[in-house]
Amino acid sequence: MTAKHVDLLILGAGWTFQFLEPLLRQEKVSFAATTTSGHDDTIPFRFDPESEDETQYKTLPSATTVLITFPLKGEGQSKHLLALYKATHSSPEPHWIQLGSTGIFTSPAWNDERSQYDRSNARAVAEDELLSLGHSCVLDLAGLYGAARDPRNWLARVAKTKDQLKAKGAVHFIHGADVARAVLAAHREFSRVHGKRWIVADLHTYDWWELAIRWGGEEYAKWVGELMEEDSVRALPRPVEKLGRVLDSRAFWNAVGVWPVMGIPGGKLDVSDAAYQPMHGN
């Protein structure tokens, strides 16, 4: 049976949940999660922005924090979701955390939580609406990896030719284990993060050319060598000035007092799901 109240309600037990669930159990944080089918002891729930039916909302427990993992888009969806939840729950209004994408930050230079973003982006519109409703924050995530998501498989998709590789600059990642740490930290330290949109990455800026050498084999190494000669690049990684759009995620981690532990130790991307440090306190 679903508890009447939990610390964290997860709307959408998708990819992130495989990292979040064990951390929450380890940290003894009570939680409930939804899926569209209700499999594996989750609560069946499917957000329909066109429906006013409160039935499925009544099955959701009250929560200190509600995490929205699926994208809300455009005007009205954030208001709709929060209104139906509020109409079916008499307890104090929860804190809301929306997971988003750093793709909305488009400046061809440094971007942080204060930077301009694409206000016409449908997800950004919904995030702005959520933030306007109070008791909320947005965690915009860099490229997700871990478990079955291996960035080494992305190289052949994003740079099939030398010309495509030439156009590639910086890339940013966040491991699922660190996403889980970020969510739990935001829940615990909500007063430090509420009302804002945050960039969440692993504190690294990676150069696609360097990754191409490490992951792509001899042909990619040849292309990178030629490109370095053509662009007068003496060594990799290239300086930030040549990488284009780059992300500064320090502010979020500093605000919550927790730091990412996954990344590319020694220059080689760690795609294992190694145990991460417990988060008792901050």
Residue 278 has pLDDT above 50, yes or no: no
Cα-based distances in Å from 55 to 41, 225, 228: 19, 61, 60
Read off φ and ψ for residue 83, nearest 5 degrees.
-65, -45
Read off φ and ψ for residue 72, nearest 5 degrees.
-100, 140
* 3-state class (DSSP) for residue 63: strand
Q: Which range is least confidently modeled, 2-6, 69-73, 198-202, 264-268?
A: 264-268
Residue 273 has pLDDT above 80, yes or no: no
* 3-state class (DSSP) for residue 40: coil
Q: Cβ atoms within 10 A of the Cβ of 234, count?
A: 7
Share above pLDDT 70 across residues of the chain, in percent, rounded to a whole number: 93
pLDDT digits (tens, 9 = 90+) for 180-205: 999 999 999 999 999 999 999 999 99
pLDDT digits (tens, 9 = 90+) for 21-62: 999 999 999 999 999 999 999 999 999 999 999 999 999 999
Residue 115 has pLDDT above 50, yes or no: yes
Rg (CA), the chain: 20
Q: What is the mean pLDDT of residues 71-97?
A: 96
In this prediction, residue 232 carries a pLDDT of 97
Name which residue leads in pLDDT, 55 or 147. 55
pTM, 2 dp:
0.92
Query: How, if at all, do strands 246-247 and 170-171 pair?
Result: unpaired
Q: Cβ atoms within 10 A of the Cβ of 250, count?
A: 14
Cα separation, 221 vs 209, in Å, equals 9
**Domain 5-149+173-203+247-264 superfamily per CATH:** NAD(P)-binding Rossmann-like Domain (3.40.50.720)
* 3-state class (DSSP) for residue 96: strand
Contact yes or no for 126/233 (Cβ under 8 A): no
CA dihedral 61, 64, 70, 74 (to 10 degrees): 110
Q: What is the mean pLDDT of residues 73-95?
A: 96
Could you list the beta-strand ranges (E) of 196-238: 197-200, 206-207
Please choose, from the candidates 136, 151, 140, the residue with its C-alpha nearest in 3D space to the C-alpha of residue 182: 140
Q: Which range is least confidently modeled, 19-33, 144-158, 215-229, 260-274?
A: 260-274
Residue 276 has pLDDT above 80, yes or no: no
Cα separation, 184 vs 116, in Å, equals 27
In this prediction, residue 266 carries a pLDDT of 38
Residue 135 CA, distance from chain mean position: 19
Question: Who contacts 50 (Cβ-Cβ below 8 Å, separation ≥6)?
Answer: none
In this prediction, residue 91 carries a pLDDT of 78
Name which residue leads in pLDDT, 263 or 57. 57
Query: pLDDT category, 3, cuts 50, 70, 90?
Result: confident
